[in-house]
Chain A
Amino acid sequence: MAETWKITLRVYRQKENQESHFDDFQMDVNPDEYVLDAVERAWAFHDRSICFRHACHHSTCGACGMRVNGVEKLTCITSIRDVTHNGATLKVEPLRNFPVVSDLAVDMGSFYRKMEAVGARPVLPVTEAEIENPPSKWDPDDSQYLRLSDCLECGLCMSACPIMATTPEYLGPAPLAAAQDQGLRRKPELLSIVDCEDGVWRCHSAFECTAVCPSFVDPGRRIMNLRTQVVDIKLRKLFGKA
C-alpha cells in the first residue's frame, strides 16, 4: 500500500494589479509523487483559478520551473519526499527575475529573446555534443545525427542568479552557456554579444546556476570557459594571429 503524507501546499497567488499573497491547501499525497502533481491536484480539486505552466511532465519542455521552498526546481521531476516531510508545508512560488503574469506563471519572453540573440541550438550534431564516454574518434558520417541540446530553457538558472536580480540587462547563465556551446571560433559574431559589460564579465562566480540546473548543463563552468575563449581570441588579435 502506498505511503500517504498530509501536507500543506502553500501557493503564491498574484493576479493582475492585485497584491500577492499565499493560499494554503491541505492534501494527502504519496511522497513519491512530484511537486507538479500536488500543484495540479490543488488546481483540479481546490481552486481552478490557480495559474501555472506545465506541458511534458518528463523534464523535456522546461515549462514547470518554480521555486519550491525557496529553491529553483523543475517540479515535474522533484519528488515531494525530497523537499518536505510528513505534516510539513510545501511552498511553491514563481521563478525570480521574471515578471509574474499570474500566480506561478512568469513571462519568459526576455529570456527567450536572449537565447535567440545568441543563436541557441535546440538540437546539435551528436559529434559536437558533450556526452559521457564519447568515442575516441567520431566517424565523419556521425555528424548527420542530431541530439537535443542539454538546455531545456527552463529559466531556473536565470532565477537563481543573484546578478540577474539586480541587472536585467545581463545576458544570463543559459544564454552565455548557449554561446559557449557554439564556440566563438565557430561563431565569431557572438564575440560582440558576450564580450561586453552585460555579457560574460558580469558573472560574479556564485555558481547558483550550476547548482539548480536540472539538466547538467553546468552554466557556471561554461561561462568560465567562454571567458577563456574571449581572452584567447583577443590575445590572438593583439598579436595578429586571428
Chain B
Amino acid sequence: MDQTRNQPSARKFLSWFIPVGRQAGGWAFALSRVTAIGLTFYLFLHLYVLRLLALGPGHYDEFLALTENPIIKFGEWAVVAAVFLHGFNGIRVVLTSFGIGVTRQKQLFYVFMIAAVLVILIFTARMY
C-alpha cells in the first residue's frame, strides 16, 4: 500500500453525512450534500415523468392522478423543502465566498436555516 498519500474510500465518503462531533459548518456541509443528492435524483425522476408527454395526453393525465396519492404528495413536499434548505444554505456559501460574514458563518447558517424553515412552513400550510 502506498503509505505516502491519503486514500479515498467509500467509508470516508459516507463520513460526509455523519457530522457527529462537528460544528455548525459541518452540519451545513452535510445538509447541502444530502439535499443536493435528493434534488439530483428528483431531476432524473422529473425528466422520466416528462417523457410521458411524448406518449400522449392520456398517459400524462394518468400520472397526474397519481399525484393525489399521499406518498407522492409528501415526496413533492420533500422536494420543495430540499430546494429551500439547499438554496438558503447556498446563499450562505456564496456570501462567505465573497468575504461577507466569514467570521459569523455559524450565525449566518442559523439565520438562513430559520428563514428556510419559515418558508417551508408557509408552503406546507398552502399545500395541505
Residues of A within 8 A of B16 (CB): 162, 165-166
Kindly state whether residue A87 has any CB partner on chain B within 8 Å. Answer: no
> Is A134 at the interface (CB under 8 A from chain B)?
no
Q: How far is the CA of A125 from the CA of B125 in the complex (A)?
A: 60
Check: B116 CB closer than 8 A to any chain A CB. Answer: no
Do the beta carbons of A208 and B25 come within 8 Å of each other? yes
Say yes or no: A205-B6 contact (C-beta < 8 A), given A162-B26, A165-B15, A166-B16. Answer: no
In the complex, which residue of chain B has the Cβ closest to the Cβ of A72?
Answer: B21
Task: Assess the A206–B21 pair: CB atoms within 8 A.
Answer: no
Of all chain B residues, the one with the shortest Cβ separation from A221 is B102
Per-position 1/0 for B74-116, Cβ under 8 A of A? 0000000000000000001100111100110110000000000
**Shortest Cβ distance from B91 into chain A, in angstroms?**
11
Bitwise interface map of A from 100 to 112 toward B, beta carbon under 8 Å scored 1, else 0: 0100000101100
- Of residues 1 through 22 on chain B, the ones whose CB sits less than 8 Å from some CB of chain A are 1-8, 12-13, 15-16, 20-22
Known: A70-B20, A97-B6, A205-B105. A165 touches B25 (CB 8 A): no
Most chain A CB neighbours (cut-off 10 Å) among B6, B12, B15: B6
A208's closest neighbor in chain B, by CB? Answer: B26
Let me know if B102 and A224 touch, CB within 8 A: yes
Q: Is B69 an interface residue (CB 8 A)?
A: no
Nearest-Cβ distance from residue A9 to partner chain B, whole angstroms: 18
Decide yes or no whether A49 CB sits under 8 A from chain B.
Answer: no
Residues of B within 8 A of A221 (CB): 102-103
Size of the chain A interface, CB-CB below 8 angstroms: 32
Q: Which of B8, B92, B99, B105 contacts A166 (CB 8 A)?
A: B8
Which has the most chain A C-beta neighbours within 10 Å: B1, B32, B99? B99
Q: Which residues does chain B contribute within 8 Å of A98, judged by CB atoms? A: 6
- Report B-chain residues with C-beta under 8 Å of the C-beta of A204: 29, 32, 93
Task: Give residues of chain A (67-108) contacting chain B, Cβ–Cβ below 8 Å.
Answer: 69-71, 96-99, 101, 107
Enumerate A135-194 residues with CB–CB distance to B below 8 Å.
160, 162, 164-168
Residue A43 CB within 8 A of the other chain:
no
**Complex alpha-carbon distance, A164 and B1, angstroms:** 19
Q: Which residue of chain B has its CB nearest to the CB of A113?
A: B4
Neighbouring B residues of A107 by C-beta, 8 Å: 3-4
A60 at the interface (CB under 8 A from B): no
Is B120 positioned at the interface, with any CB of A under 8 Å from its CB?
A: no
Given the contacts A110-B5, A204-B32, A166 and B13 also touching, CB distance less than 8 Å: yes
- 5 more CB-based (< 8 A) A-B contacts, given A97-B6, A162-B26, A164-B6: A207-B105, A210-B25, A224-B96, A224-B98, A224-B102
The 5 closest A-B pairs by CB, nearest first: A207-B25, A206-B29, A70-B21, A168-B6, A165-B12
26 contacts across the A-B interface (CB closer than 8 A):
A99-B6, A101-B3, A109-B4, A110-B6, A162-B16, A162-B26, A162-B29, A165-B13, A166-B12, A166-B13, A168-B7, A204-B93, A205-B92, A205-B93, A206-B22, A207-B25, A207-B26, A210-B25, A211-B22, A211-B23, A211-B25, A211-B26, A221-B103, A224-B97, A225-B102, A227-B97
